[in-house]
């Protein structure tokens, strides 16, 4: 009897906070996305009208939404594989018995993860400055013409992707490194006795054993990368020519610059649906891959 009451006493502060400041707003966001909540409604709630799915319908006919979506998919589709590739490569290097002073390298490679996005994005803005940036200076030494990194619509997103990879790869590196260390050493031992080369060991032992880790890392990274916001906010302000406007950037501008909170809620919900669907697809793909693996001898 009283044990149950104790439990609820212990739970209540956290549940109250999460309920009031997370669950309730999420439900309200769904309701909000079905209204035309704007500056007039903000001033006087009587101006609020129910518009059903009008906001969603309008969004699907708005070129800016599609370019924001396209930019975000570009960022995810290129950024996630590069990010995870860098994480895997550095984890493999750190796990190599040949590597020296591992604690130093691990800390050095992880350092960008704990830094503040805004602060390091500011650094990158100067490093990639067309005229005085170190990057173009280095390229000039190699005989390559200066590139207008952040002011050229073709280069702005790649620069942001490079930044995101640099900033984030250390996080997954630690997780993958732990996954590598969990692979039993006698598997490699047996393979060596059978005369399997290092690449074959990697392909037939390391990768399959790492699969659950990689799947989890992929899902978390995809979900995280869809939430692109601070990088374009600081580095490009969505430009040039709106080439770096992300879905969240659009939500922020619609909601807190133009105060179209109804429209912005619809944007937020669409993003949620997209993340959810992509995550489910990844899971399904992984499960199908497993079945194929299981079928083969």
Partner 1 sequence: MNTRLAKVLVNGLLCGAALVALLPLLWMLSVSFMAPGEASSLPPPLLPAHATLANYRELFAHAGMGRYLLNSLLVSSAITALSLACNLMAGYAFAKLRFAGRERLFQALIGALVIPAQVAMLPLFLLLKYIGLVNSYAGVIVPGMATIFGIYLVRQYARGIPDELLEAARIDGAGEWRIFTLIVLPLLKPIIVTLAIFSFLAAWNDFMWPLIVLTGQEHYTLPIALASLAREHAQDSELMMAGSVVTVMPVLLLFLSLQRYYLEGLLLGSVKG
Determine the interface stretch with partner 1 among 60-68, 75-83, 113-121, 187-195 (rule: CB under 8 A).
Answer: 113-121
Q: Does 4 bind partner 1 (CB under 8 A)?
A: yes
User: Which of 56, 112, 202, 205 touches partner 1 (CB under 8 A)?
Assistant: 112
Between 32 and 297, CB nearer to partner 1: 32
Residues from 167 through 196 that contact partner 1 (CB under 8 A): 170-171, 174-175, 178
Q: Does 26 bind partner 1 (CB under 8 A)?
A: yes
| Contact yes or no for 287/219 (Cβ under 8 A) | no
Q: CB under 8 Å to 226, separation ≥6 — which residues?
A: 72, 76, 247, 271, 274, 275, 278
User: Which of 46, 116, 143, 296 touches partner 1 (CB under 8 A)?
Assistant: 116
Between 44 and 296, CB nearer to partner 1: 44
Q: Does 47 bind partner 1 (CB under 8 A)?
A: no
CA separation for the pair 297, 294 (Å, rounded): 7
As measured in angstroms, the least distance from the Cβ of 22 to partner 1 is 5
The SS3 of residue 35 is: strand
Distances (CA, A) of 5 to 15, 17, 20, 35, 192: 15, 19, 21, 40, 59
| Contact yes or no for 55/266 (Cβ under 8 A) | yes
Helices marked H in the chain:
2-18, 24-32, 39-43, 54-60, 63-95, 102-114, 117-127, 134-141, 156-181, 185-193, 198-201, 207-225, 230-235, 247-252, 261-295
Q: Does 77 bind partner 1 (CB under 8 A)?
A: no
Q: Does 258 bind partner 1 (CB under 8 A)?
A: no
Q: Does 241 bind partner 1 (CB under 8 A)?
A: no
Determine the interface stretch with partner 1 among 15-23, 48-56, 73-81, 143-151 (rule: CB under 8 A).
Answer: 15-23
CA separation for the pair 59, 210 (Å, rounded): 40
Q: Does 43 bind partner 1 (CB under 8 A)?
A: no
Q: Does 48 bind partner 1 (CB under 8 A)?
A: no
Distances (CA, A) of 56 to 41, 120, 179, 206: 19, 35, 42, 45
145 DSSP assignment: P
User: Which of 216, 239, 242, 282 touches partner 1 (CB under 8 A)?
Assistant: 216
As measured in angstroms, the least distance from the Cβ of 130 to partner 1 is 12
As measured in angstroms, the least distance from the Cβ of 62 to partner 1 is 18
Between 161 and 234, CB nearer to partner 1: 234
Q: Does 268 bind partner 1 (CB under 8 A)?
A: yes
| Contact yes or no for 71/246 (Cβ under 8 A) | yes
Q: Does 114 bind partner 1 (CB under 8 A)?
A: yes
Between 28 and 77, CB nearer to partner 1: 28
Cross-strand partners of 50: 35
User: Which of 117, 139, 191, 278 touches partner 1 (CB under 8 A)?
Assistant: 117
């Amino acid at each position: 009897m009283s044990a149950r009451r104790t439990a609820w006493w212990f739970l209540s502060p956290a549940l109250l906070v999460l309920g009031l400041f997370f669950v309730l707003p999420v439900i309200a966001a769904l309701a909000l996305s079905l209204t035309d909540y704007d500056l007039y409604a903000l001033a006087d709630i009587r101006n609020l009208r129910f518009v059903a799915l009008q906001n969603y319908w309008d969004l699907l006919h708005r070129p800016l939404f599609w370019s924001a979506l396209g930019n975000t998919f570009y960022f995810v589709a290129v950024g996630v594989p590069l990010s995870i590739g860098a994480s895997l490569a550095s984890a493999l290097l750190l796990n190599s018995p040949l590597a020296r002073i591992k604690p130093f390298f691990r800390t050095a490679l992880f350092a960008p993860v704990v830094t503040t996005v805004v602060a390091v994005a500011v650094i990158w803005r100067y490093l990639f400055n067309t005229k005085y940036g170190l990057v173009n200076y280095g390229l000039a030494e190699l005989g390559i013409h200066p590139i207008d990194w952040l002011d050229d619509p073709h280069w702005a997103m790649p620069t942001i992707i490079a930044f995101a990879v640099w900033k984030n790869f250390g996080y997954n590196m630690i997780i993958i490194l732990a996954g590598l260390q969990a692979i039993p050493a006698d598997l490699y031992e047996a393979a060596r006795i059978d005369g399997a080369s290092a690449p074959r060991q990697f392909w037939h032992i390391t990768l399959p054993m790492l699969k659950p880790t990689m799947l989890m890392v992929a899902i978390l990274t995809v979900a995280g990368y869809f939430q692109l916001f601070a990088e374009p906010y600081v580095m490009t302000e969505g430009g040039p020519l709106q080439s770096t406007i992300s879905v969240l950037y659009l939500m922020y501008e619609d909601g807190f610059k133009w105060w179209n909170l109804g429209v912005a809620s619809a944007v937020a919900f669409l993003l949620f649906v997209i993340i959810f669907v992509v995550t489910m697809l990844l899971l399904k793909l992984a499960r199908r891959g497993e079945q194929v693996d299981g079928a083969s001898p």
